[in-house]
Amino acid sequence: MSEQKIADPGPLGLAGFAMTTFCLSTANANLWKGAGLTAALALAIIYGGFAQLLAGMWEFVRKNTFGALAFTSYGAFWIGLYILLKVPAVSSGIATDTVGIYLLAWTIFTLYMTIAAFKTSGAVLAVFVVLLVTFVFLTIGAWGAGHTTMTHIGGWLGILTAILAWYASAAGVINETHGKVVLPVWPLG
């Protein structure tokens, strides 16, 4: 029995991550505060959360440990953020540093994923480097009484992260569809 080839789930995972990150980052950058947050939370369950989680599971099937861990984890990040902010049983117990602690944990995770990303592609590495810096600023911004300037900087960095993730997603789907490199990703392997 021959092994079936499945489509690359990477562009889906990157697109779900990019869109959700973009919407939340516009709120953090204070562009469309309420609208951006509402859009991000809606996406956090379905596109950033569930679709990205599925992309991670399909990466397991493709034996891509990096993609499996990244997409499954960041899909869980979005679902967890929704629960943290919107599920009353959880959100009613948020202390001053709860979001800061949540973001710190994700900063640590993103740090070692950034190290692993040095063996992927320049496009994916760029996403992780900027995401790591984004998490650092957002973590500081959420700590204690909150530091709005740090959160705003994190928001702008998050917008850049989203743009880079959309580029990597677009490259994956366009290159696959055209059967050649249209948008370079700069393999590092």
Q: How many domains does the chain have?
A: 1
Residue 14 lies in a domain: yes
In a domain, 136, yes or no: yes
Question: What are residue 121's DSSP bridge partners?
Answer: 187
Looking at the domain assignment, is residue 15 inside a domain? yes
**Cα torsion angle, 141, 49, 117, 121, sign:** negative
Q: Which helix (H) or strand (E) holds 93?
A: none
Between CA 120 and CA 180 the distance in angstroms is 18
Sequence-distant contacts of 60-63: CB under 8 A, at least 24 apart? 61/6, 62/6, 62/8, 62/9
Predicted TM-score (pTM) of this structure: 0.94
Helix axes 148-178, 122-142, angle to 10 degrees: 160
CB 43 within 8 A of CB 12: no
Task: Print the domain residue range for 25.
Answer: 10-176
Q: Would 181 be classed as within a structural domain?
A: no
Give the model's pLDDT for residue 4.
Answer: 58
pLDDT tens for 112-170 read 999 999 999 999 999 999 999 999 999 999 998 778 999 999 999 999 999 999 999 99
- What percentage of the chain carries pLDDT values higher than 70? 98
At residue 40, does pLDDT exceed 70?
yes
Lowest mean pLDDT among 3-12, 29-38, 50-59, 75-84: 3-12
Query: For the chain, what is the largest distance between any 2 Cα atoms, rounded to a whole number of angstroms?
Result: 60
Position 163 in a domain: yes
In a domain, 186, yes or no: no
* Residues in Cβ contact with 147 at an 8 Å cutoff, skipping those fewer than 6 apart: 140, 141
Other C-beta atoms lying within 10 Å of the C-beta of residue 57: 13
Classify residue 60: in a domain, yes or no. Answer: yes
Q: Is 31 helix (H, G, I), strand (E, B) or coil?
A: coil
| Pick from 93, 125, 91: nearest CA to 110 | 125
Dist. CA 189–CA 168, nearest whole Å: 16
The answer to whether residue 5 sits within a structural domain is no
Alpha carbons 85 and 92: distance in angstroms, whole number: 9
- Choice between 5 and 54, residue whose per-residue pLDDT is larger: 54
Residue 121 DSSP SS3: strand
The pair phi, psi for residue 74, each rounded to 5°, is -70, -30
